[in-house]
């Protein structure tokens, strides 16, 4: 229901702007038709490239971020060691690192994936760490009295405790990572939807908007995916 409402509002605004800027912004139906027409052809490869880039960046930042966050949340020493490092690196404007990464990496894919990783991994680490910090100590006492093994500790205590906050962070991060995705795809040797959009600016206005549409669609689907997983695993919130 909330999706129907949201989509309707977006469509109405889109149509409004399309009438306001008649020669620049195409109507939704034109974009949809063009999407159906070119998706199997020009759009297919860029979409695949963008999705794999996004997923690899998100995947590694979640895996590594969650592990580091748990380590920092559970161990005083781990926290001491990493906290100052993370807080001093965090404020560096990451997108400015793009130029540096272009020089370092020979593979364009991993260069771009690394940029997404750098953007997403810090919020994940901090979220996970803080989520563990606020678990009441009594919960740990009880776990200890039951002598839970490591696997049970993770399955029954640590993972469920971090999930709700992790999902929130991921939602925010997806917005950020799509922004960097676009940025990174237009630099170096361009690829993916970012390059598709950028290179259509002059030649084909309709294609450009179709590219933007697909990029938004990817973000939207990821949002819904997170909603579904959250619904399944965080019933208790």
Give residues in contact with other proteins (CB under 8 A). Answer: 136, 138-139, 141-142, 144-149, 152, 156-157, 160-161, 163, 234-237
Nearer to other proteins, 86 or 161 (CB): 161
Nearer to other proteins, 164 or 188 (CB): 164
Give min distance, CB of 143 to other proteins, in A.
8
Give min distance, CB of 164 to other proteins, in A.
9
Nearer to other proteins, 163 or 208 (CB): 163
Give min distance, CB of 56 to other proteins, in A.
30
Give min distance, CB of 161 to other proteins, in A.
7
Nearer to other proteins, 16 or 146 (CB): 146
Q: What does the angle CA 172 – CA 119 – CA 178 come to, to the nearest 5 degrees?
A: 55
Nearer to other proteins, 120 or 162 (CB): 162
Give min distance, CB of 183 to other proteins, in A.
37
Residue of 48, 185, 62, 53 whose CA lies nearest to 113: 53
What distance lies between CA 124 and its chain's CA centroid?
11
Nearer to other proteins, 37 or 156 (CB): 156
Contacts 24+ apart (CB under 8 A), 164-169: 164/131, 164/230, 164/234, 164/237, 165/127, 165/128, 165/130, 165/131, 166/62, 166/66, 166/124, 166/127, 166/128, 166/131, 167/226, 167/229, 167/230, 167/234, 168/127, 169/123, 169/124, 169/127
Residue of 63, 47, 206 whose CA lies nearest to 128: 63
Give min distance, CB of 57 to other proteins, in A.
28
Distance CA 5, CA 162 (A): 30
């Amino acid at each position: 229901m909330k999706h129907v409402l949201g989509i309707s509002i977006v469509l109405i605004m889109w149509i409004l702007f399309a009438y306001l800027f008649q020669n620049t912004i195409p109507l939704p139906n034109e974009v949809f038709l063009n999407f159906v027409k070119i998706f199997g052809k020009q759009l297919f490869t860029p979409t695949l490239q963008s999705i794999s880039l996004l997923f690899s960046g998100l995947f590694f930042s979640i895996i590594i971020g969650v592990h580091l966050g748990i380590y920092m949340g559970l161990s005083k020493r781990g926290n001491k060691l990493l906290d100052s490092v993370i807080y001093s690196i965090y404020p560096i404007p990451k997108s400015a690192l793009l130029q540096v990464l272009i020089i370092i990496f020979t593979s364009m894919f991993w260069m771009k994936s690394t940029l997404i990783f750098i953007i997403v991994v810090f919020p994940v680490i901090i979220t996970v760490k803080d989520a563990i910090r606020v678990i009441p100590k009594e919960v740990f006492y009880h776990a200890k009295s039951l002598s839970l093994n490591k696997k049970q500790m993770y399955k029954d205590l640590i993972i469920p405790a971090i999930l709700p906050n992790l999902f929130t962070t991921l939602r925010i991060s997806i917005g950020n990572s799509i922004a960097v995705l676009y940025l990174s795809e237009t630099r170096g040797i361009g690829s993916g939807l970012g390059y598709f959009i950028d290179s259509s600016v002059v030649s084909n206005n309709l294609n450009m908007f179709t590219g933007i549409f697909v990029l938004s669609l990817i973000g939207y689907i990821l949002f819904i995916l997170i909603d579904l997983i959250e619904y399944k695993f965080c019933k208790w919130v």
